[in-house]
């Protein structure tokens, strides 16, 4: 029986790559995005790859939109086997300069969007005692980084959310959870983060400016060194997790991201040991 997947945030970059690679594996893919006017890049890529993808409107910040989309897919397909919570947005600004509205937006897009989508699909997966939910997190969900504290806070929340669900929903209802932690992707994600930064005042001429300049210079240097991965490379890790009958609770997507997080992940790189310990402690 053909498996059914929902992928959020598929108008650009990683979302497109994940949707294409899953479809190439014979999975029925529902690629979702907030604005359907931006679907042309996905459809063109699907045509070039000779795969079929269903496109649906889904705004992760709108509960009604999420619930409607999930209900329509379940009604048509009878099930949802895979959810890839990919939609998200970067944010570069120190706490002192960020407005409360910006902070709420970052948390809503990157964390609450994942909660809304997970909440919508869980009853259907639980009824079938089967499913896999993958949350696209970041090394920023494990290690706090300069000028990214709001974004990192959202991704830390994703990590805790994923770990908690994995410790009781997985053993009870056979629904697997994986947090995917890229270390940097050469896609529109970082570009859009800096566009958002510039559109909301850019670099202020204050005491933070020289520190920010050093941070931005370092990011450019890492890009030049080829540290960042392509969307296709990260998508390959996502697909491998889906194909793994015993997927990790967390996984980095490159050698660099593994090294960067080594101090936090060395004793339990996949998160499985901690999962077993928490189950033993509480259940």
236: nearest Cα among 22, 92, 60: 22
Beta carbons within 8 Å of 203's beta carbon, 6+ residues apart: 209, 212, 213
pLDDT at 243: 98
Cβ proximity of 157 and 140 under 8 Å = no
Percentage of the chain beyond pLDDT 70 is 94
Of the listed ranges 103-112, 134-143, 183-192, 228-237, the least confidently predicted one is 183-192
Q: Which residues on neighbouring strands pair with residue 33, listed in sequence order? A: 57
Domain ranges of the chain: 4-282
User: Which fold, 4-282?
Assistant: Rossmann fold (3.40.50)
Catalytic residue annotation: 151
pLDDT-derived band of residue 223, with 50, 70 and 90 as boundaries? Answer: confident
Task: Using the predicted structure, report yes or no on whether residue 230 has a pLDDT greater than 70.
Answer: yes
Start-to-end CA distance of the chain, whole Å, equals 34
In 179-250, alpha helices (H): 188-199, 209-224, 231-243
Q: What is the pLDDT of residues 32-76, one digit of tens each?
A: 999 999 999 999 999 999 999 999 999 999 999 999 999 999 999
pLDDT at 189 over 60: no
């Amino acid at each position: 029986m053909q498996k059914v997947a929902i992928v959020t945030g598929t108008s650009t970059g990683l979302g497109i790559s994940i949707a294409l690679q899953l479809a190439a594996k014979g999975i029925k893919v529902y690629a979702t995005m907030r604005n359907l006017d931006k679907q042309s890049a996905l459809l063109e890529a699907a045509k070039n790859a000779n795969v079929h993808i269903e496109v649906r409107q889904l705004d992760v910040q709108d509960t009604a939109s999420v619930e409607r989309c999930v209900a329509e897919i379940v009604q048509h397909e009878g099930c949802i086997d895979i959810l890839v919570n990919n939609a998200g947005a970067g944010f570069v600004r120190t706490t002192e300069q960020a407005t409360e509205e910006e902070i709420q937006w970052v948390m809503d897009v990157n964390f609450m969007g994942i909660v809304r989508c997970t909440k919508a699909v869980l009853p259907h997966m639980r009824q079938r005692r089967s499913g896999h939910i993958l949350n696209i997190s970041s090394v920023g969900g494990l290690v706090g980084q300069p000028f990214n504290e709001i974004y990192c806070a959202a991704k830390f929340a994703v990590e805790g959310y994923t770990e908690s669900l994995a410790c009781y929903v997985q053993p009870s209802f056979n629904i697997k959870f994986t947090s995917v932690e890229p270390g940097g992707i050469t896609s529109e994600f970082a570009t859009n983060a800096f566009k958002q930064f510039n559109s909301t005042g850019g670099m202020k001429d204050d005491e933070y400016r020289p520190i920010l300049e050093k941070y931005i210079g370092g990011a450019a240097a890492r890009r030049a060194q080829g540290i960042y991965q392509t969307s296709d490379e990260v998508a390959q890790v996502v697909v491998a997790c889906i194909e793994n009958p015993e997927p990790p609770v967390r996984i980095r997507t490159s050698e660099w991201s593994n090294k960067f997080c080594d101090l936090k992940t060395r004793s339990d790189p996949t998160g499985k040991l901690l999962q077993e310990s928490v189950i033993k402690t509480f259940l």
